[in-house]
Chains A and B, each alone.
Chain A
Amino acid sequence: MAHDECVWEQVTYEMQFNPQPWVLWVLSLFAFSAVGQRALDAVVSLSGDKTAFLAFPLTVLIPALTFLFLATRKGMSSAEGVLMQVGTMIQLLLIIALPGFALYLALGFPVVFLVIELFETRAPARLRTLIKSRIIA
């Protein structure tokens, strides 16, 4: 092949970040247990005050589906994105597990992003590196 016929393919590699598998497994295990507990409460409530049953789709299913959606997201473009993903999953887990505090936790969602921003910009570099290496793959 003549030199001028050569075609050079330019490939740009973009870094991709994901949570460590163990983080996803642990959070999923907790979420699964919390959903199970809330489902049990809902069924039990059918024999008396039906609030837990009526509240189940909004307070359990929607957060659980959002959790599932986040858990299956792959290839974040930044390490900060992974921290936000994990932070949001933890907040959703708390919303499912602590129904008495669910509204407060939902209203306080921006705090998750503030904590991650402070971690990224203010935390000591050594601590940041240590935590990131444990959480991010």
Chain B
Amino acid sequence: MIDLDLPEPLMLALRWLLLIGPIFLVVVMAFVRTTTTREKIGGLFAFLYGVPIIFITHSMAVHFGWWHYGWDALMVDGLPVDIILGGAILFGPGLYFTFPRVGPLLICLPIILGLHATVFGSLEPLVFAGPYWFGGVLFVFITAHIPAIYLAKWTAEDRRLPMRCALLAIMTGGLILVVLPSLIMHAMGGNWALLDRPVWSTVFAVPFLILASVIGLSANQMLCLQGGGTPIPLDPTKRLVRSGIYAYVSNPMQLSAALIWIILGIYLQNIWIVAAAGMAWVFVQGMVRWHNRHDLLKRFPNGWPEYKQNVPEWRPRWKPWIAAPAKLTIGKAELWPRLQRAEGLSIEIRDGTTRYQPAGEPRVFEGLEARLFALTHVNFAWAVAAHVVLLGLLAAKYTSARIFDSNKVPA
């Protein structure tokens, strides 16, 4: 460890540099390397992933005493916002544009060993290192920086769609559950103080938060599985998705965000977080409808208008709206009574592997997955319940296929 004693003006300049440096690097590298549109989108996604995850991991660092920051400027929950953003730019588009062909681990390892390990303890009053700071740095790199660069790489190369969607879901969750509520409380008053809340209120809030999250996460999963794209319009789906949770409500992700803010606001007893649900409505009215008109309507002129006419934006239908029936092939013994009341499901009784295929969509599901997808045709409650299991089941299947047999990884 090098023990430096830098004068305050130099530390002020360093704090400027921690934000301006990465921006400059990104702009220069984007021009020098003539990055493609997909590479730029990858860089943007890496930045968007970095912001909430760096914010969360650095909050943990401050909470556990791995390090803390000096000066009071631009602090949100003890974290300097400019350094968080600078970090998200550097360890996202910055390093990806600079070393597009080098693996994220190889990019980050020299920085961990060469920079953090040598000078991290000498940056007071910018940052005060505590015990276990090196473990904290490793934790931040493993959870925030390395996945961010992978996200940029995979997006640019248009591969590993399930991993991209998973990282984007983590990003969205971090923004909705942590970053935006923190900013709202910083602006309007209030605090997290999770450990001081009554246990009963936590026990009461958590299942509702999980339920609200499932609506958004299952929408993300459907866009990946059936749409062949991500939830972010810059990397859009290739097909119009109308099955699963989308058969009940056309804005499941915005609905999920609004419900999360209402539940979280009640739990934290903060009216301003509840009011953020109104901002989700504003976002839908202002941005999503515009996107629908200028993108979805143009790309899917036959399917989109009919879908919009039948599926509401906010209040889910109780029964699904299915444009053309999906096909379920199932043995008589396995036909659950609930499935006989399913809508838009053409059931063929035949012994053998249970198979489910939505009309006009390429993917066929078998076994338990097929039965769960068939359950999404019964009603909204069964659809949410089925999606809870599908989220875990499909993620586990993909992960195990990646680890044990890469030839069987779903496309």
Q: Number of A-B pairs whose CB atoms are under 8 Å?
A: 73
B73 in contact with A55 (CB, 8 Å): yes
| 0/1 interface trace, chain B 62-82, chain A, CB 8 Å (1 if under) | 000000000111100000011
Question: Given A104-B187, A107-B183, A117-B286, do A54 and B74 touch, yes or no (CB 8 Å)?
Answer: yes
**Do the beta carbons of B20 and A55 come within 8 Å of each other?**
no
Q: Is the interface of A mostly helix, strand, loop or mixed?
A: helix
B339 within 8 A of A: no
Closest-by-CB residue of B relative to A56 is: B16
Measured in the bound complex, the distance between the Cα atoms of B20 and A112 in whole Å is 27
Q: Of A58, A104, A113, A115, which contacts B74 at CB under 8 A? A: A58
Q: Is residue B167 within 8 Å, beta carbon to beta carbon, of the partner chain? A: no
Question: B183 and A103: CB pair below 8 A?
Answer: yes
Determine the residue in chain B with the shortest Cβ distance to A111. Answer: B282
Interface residues of B in 113-167 (CB under 8 A from A): none
**Are B72 and A51 neighbours in the complex by a CB distance under 8 Å?**
yes
- Which residues, 21 to 60 on A, are CB-close (under 8 Å) to B? 50-51, 53-59
A residues within 8 Å of B by Cβ?
A: 50-51, 53-59, 61-62, 65, 77-78, 80, 84, 103-104, 107-108, 110-118
B176 to A: closest C-beta gap in Å: 13
CA distance A57 to B89 in the complex (A): 14
Task: Output the least CB separation between A1 and chain B (Å).
Answer: 38
Q: Please give, as numbers and ranges, the residues of chain A lying within 8 Å of B74 by CB-CB distance.
A: 51, 54-55, 58-59
Which one of A56, A58, A61 has the highest number of Cβ atoms from chain B below 10 Å of its Cβ? A58
Contact B285 A54 (CB under 8 A): no
Asked if B19 and A57 sit within 8 Å, CB to CB, the answer is: yes
A117 touches B289 (CB 8 A): yes
- A58 with B282: CB separation less than 8 A: no
Contacts A54-B15, A57-B82 hold; do A111 and B286 have CB atoms under 8 A apart? yes
A24-B73 Cα distance, complex, nearest whole Å? 32
- A-B contacts, 28 listed (Cβ < 8 Å): A51-B72, A51-B73, A53-B12, A54-B12, A54-B16, A54-B71, A54-B73, A57-B20, A58-B19, A58-B82, A58-B85, A59-B74, A61-B20, A62-B23, A65-B23, A104-B187, A107-B180, A107-B183, A107-B279, A110-B279, A110-B287, A113-B287, A113-B290, A114-B285, A116-B290, A117-B286, A117-B290, A118-B285
B286 x A116 contact (CB < 8 A)? yes
- A121's nearest neighbour on chain B, judged by CB, is B289
Tell me if B283 is interfacial: C-beta within 8 Å of chain A.
yes
B184 CB within 8 Å of chain A: yes
In the assembled complex, the CB of B392 is this many whole angstroms from the nearest CB of chain A, namely 32
A84 partner residues in chain B, CB cutoff 8 A: 290
CB-CB < 8 A to B184: which residues of A? Answer: 107
Choose one: B71, B85, B286, B294; the contact of A114 (CB below 8 Å). B286
With a cutoff of 8 Å between Cβ atoms, the chain A residues found around residue B287 in the complex are 110, 113
State the Cβ distance, B93 to closest chain A Cβ, in Å. Answer: 14
Query: A50 touching B73 by the CB < 8 A rule?
Result: yes
Evaluate contact between A103 and B82: CB separation under 8 angstroms: no
- Residues of chain B with a CB closer than 8 A to A65's CB: 23
Instruction: Check A112 against B286 for contact (C-beta < 8 Å).
Output: yes
Residues of chain A within 8 A of B315, CB atoms compared: none
Question: What would 14 more interface pairs be, CB under 8 Å, given A110-B279, A113-B286, A114-B282?
Answer: A53-B12, A56-B16, A58-B82, A61-B20, A62-B23, A77-B294, A103-B183, A107-B187, A110-B282, A111-B286, A113-B287, A113-B290, A115-B286, A116-B290
